[in-house]
Every structure is written in C-alpha cells, then in structure tokens.
Amino acid sequence: MTATGPDLQTADLLSPAAVADPYPLLAELREHDPVHWSERYRSWFVTRYADVDAALRDPRFSSDRIAPYRRARLDGPGADAGVRAAFGVLEDWMVFKDPPDHTRLRKLLSRAFTPRAVERMRVRVAEIADELLRDLGPHADLIGEYAYPLTSSVVAEMLGVPRADQALFKDWSDRITGLVFGGLGDPDRHADGAGGMAELTGYLDELVARGPDAESLVGALVRAREAGDALTHAEVVATGVLLLFAGHETTTNLIGNGLRALLRHPDQAPDAPGTVEELLRWDGPAKTIARLVAADVELGGRTLRRGDRVFLCASAANRDPAVFPDPDRLDVTRRPGRQLGFGIGLHYCLGAPLARLEAAIAIPAALDRFPDLRLAEEPPAWHPVLLSRGLVRLPVHT
C-alpha cells in the first residue's frame, strides 16, 4: 500500500528527530509504504525485511554507484579537482565494485579476516581495551576515549601503521564520513571530505613507498601487486584507505551504540552468547545500504527503473515484526535470527568476524571495569548521515 499521509510524503531520515531516533519513522514506512519514493532525495527507501534481503542478493541492485556519479557530476569542466580525486579513490574501493573486480579484490583480502586469523587478535584487542580503560577519568567520552582509539589501533596495527601516527586518522576519518555515508544536508561535505581523503591517501602513498612491514595487510597488498595479481598502485592505496576507514568506523559505532543500549537496559547481560548479535539487530551501525538499479526491477509492487538510487534500510528490516517477534524490545537471550547488520550475500561485510570479536571484548570490559558506569545527563549527539548510525560522543560518569 502506498502512503498518502503528509508525514510519509515528507519523510526525512535526516530530520533532527529521525537522526536521534529513526525507528518510529522507519516503522511507519515499513507498514504503510515499504518501497517508498522520496522526492527529497530522489531515491527509493526499502524497509521490509523480505525486500531488503532480496535486493541484497539481486545483482540488479548494483554496488557500482561511484563511477556513474563521477562521470555525471565530476568529469565536466568546472568540477572541483580535489573532489574528483577523492571520488577516484572511492571508485577503487571493493565495496563500490561489482564482479569481477569485487571478486578479485575480496579474494586478496579474505585471508586476513578468516576466523582463525581474527582469533589471533583476541589477546591484543583485550590488551588495548585494558590500557584505554585504565586511563579513563571520572567523566569520560566512550567514543573519543575508548571505542574509536581501540578500533583504530587494531586496524592500524593490522595494516602496519606505526602507533605514533595513529592519532592522525581521527580527523581524516571524521572528514571522510560525510563523503562516504551520505551527509546530504551538509553542503560542504564533498570539499571537506576531499581534503581528508587527500591527506590520508598521501600518507598511505608514503607508507607504501618506504616499504611497509611484510607481515602487515599493506605489505601483503604490495606483495600481491609485485607478484602480478592485477593490483594497481592506486588500488593498493585505495584499499588501505578503505580498511583504515571502514575497519574502525562501523566497529566504533557498534561498540558505542551497544554500550549506550546496555546502560539504558541494565537488565541485559553484556557477555551473553547472543549479546553482540542482538545489539547489531536492535541499534546497529548500518542504517541503510545504498545501491544503484542496474536494470528495471519489480520490488514490493513497485517498478524501480535503471539508474534509480535505492537505500536498503537494514535498520528497519532488523525490526520487522514479520521476522523478529516484539522487535522493539532489546533481548540478548533472543533466539539468533537473520539480522542484516553486516549485509548478506556477495557484499557481506568482510570484517564482520573482527568487528564481532572487538565488540564482544570491549563492551563487557568497560562494564566490568566500571560497575557504576552511567550515562551523563546531556542528550546524545548522532552523526547526521543516511548510511550509518553512530554517536559523535558518548559522555558517561565512571
């Protein structure tokens, strides 16, 4: 059924109310207009679990959305050269490619994220968490002082970035966020993100040039290029940028959102076998997943045309009552379901095992170290972007 009420006709996931709590609006869309055309964003928003799941498995919903945008908007005269260069880096990201390029890049990286390889990181993740928790004062920000430095340290060490340089990445990452995750309300997001991208790619260019640690991920990419695995220098650098950015951004948000959820629901066990999966479902870091329609397709009774942009709302699908009983209730003992917090199918998140490990260690560690931990009185501030859901700060009293 198509909604006709004014609330859904003007639905905006970037309104202040929806940024703070998107779930009421997503529930209205899911019930009344599950494949919703937004004039505001000139895009479709898909909210039912069955439709999101089907689209994520359907190759007609293409991940290759950066190259068409660059050709249409940035290749003509007068386009900003810095923004064009930033989108050139994004174009080489595995997550924005379809087969066969996606298959080639994923195969090169997959060895670093096998369960066995990730399990070897367990002790180091626990050590970093303990170091950071020891340094927290009576009033702390669990994003800036805990979740972010933990996740960024883990991925930087995997890539072979010297520890002394890791603090540089926070500013670059924050600036790139609007470029990648869809801060459509910010008119300066492209220029600011391009500046951050230029500084980060410049750093990685130098890291590759001076010879990274042979055991690091960047070292493995360089060896693959030198061995003739059809990996260009630009792809080595772009993949390093992707891993540094995506390797901590999603996990930082998972840990931050998860800690906030458990502090608001102290009856829920932080270390139950199903805790991380339920936190991913209930208020996970993936709000929507963007795709471009590669061929006309019918979905939910609507016709989506070739070239249309689609936002697959994983956060709405994860609270679909057709799949999850009593979906708005946080319940870490819930029978494991089919939450879509890491996607599904061809583009299932390569770093999911590492993200799960970090969250399973970091969240209980903070609550064990500070049994009286409580949220500060100030309201939470969320990043105003379409694709991800994450806190700017998480102020607490320890």
What pLDDT digit, counting tens, does each position of 325-355 carry?
A: 999 999 999 987 789 999 898 888 888 899 9
Cα 319 from Cα 325, distance rounded (Å): 9
CA-based R_g, the chain, Å: 21
Q: Is the pLDDT of residue 246 over 80?
A: no
- Average pLDDT over every residue of 112-141: 92
pLDDT of 244: 79
- Average pLDDT over every residue of 97-107: 85
Global confidence as pTM: 0.90
Tell me which of 187 and 94 has the higher pLDDT: 94
- Average pLDDT over every residue of 370-382: 94
Mean pLDDT, the chain, whole residue set: 87
- DSSP conformational letter for 395: E
Please give the C-alpha separations between residue 299 and each of 55, 133, 184, in angstroms, as whole numbers: 8, 47, 25
Any residues with CB less than 8 A from the CB of 150 and at least 6 apart, and which?
A: 125, 128, 129, 132, 255, 358, 362
pLDDT of 346: 83
Q: Is the pLDDT of residue 214 over 70?
A: no
- Which conformational region is residue 232 in: left (phi greater than 0), alpha (psi within -120 to 50 degrees), or beta? beta
State the pLDDT confidence band at 4, using cuts at 50, 70 and 90: very low
Q: Is the pLDDT of residue 91 over 50?
A: yes
pLDDT of 230: 62
pLDDT of 270: 96
pLDDT of 183: 52
Do 262 and 368 touch, CB atoms closer than 8 A? no
pLDDT of 145: 95
Tell me which of 69 and 122 has the higher pLDDT: 122
Q: Is the pLDDT of residue 1 over 60?
A: no
State the pLDDT confidence band at 5, using cuts at 50, 70 and 90: very low
pLDDT in tens, 172-198: 877 887 677 655 555 566 777 888 888
CATH of domain 60-294+302-310+347-397: 1.10.630.10
Cα 108 from Cα 222, distance rounded (Å): 11
pLDDT of 70: 79
Q: What are the residue ranges spanned by the domains of the chain?
A: 60-294+302-310+347-397
pLDDT of 227: 62
Q: Is the pLDDT of residue 111 over 70?
A: yes
For the ranges 115-124, 218-227, 254-263, the one whose mean pLDDT is highest:
254-263
CA angle 372, 377, 382 (to 5 degrees): 105
pLDDT of 225: 67
- Average pLDDT over every residue of 215-230: 70
Q: Is the pLDDT of residue 212 over 70?
A: no
Q: Is the pLDDT of residue 163 over 90?
A: no
Do 48 and 322 touch, CB atoms closer than 8 A? yes
- Average pLDDT over every residue of 236-249: 81
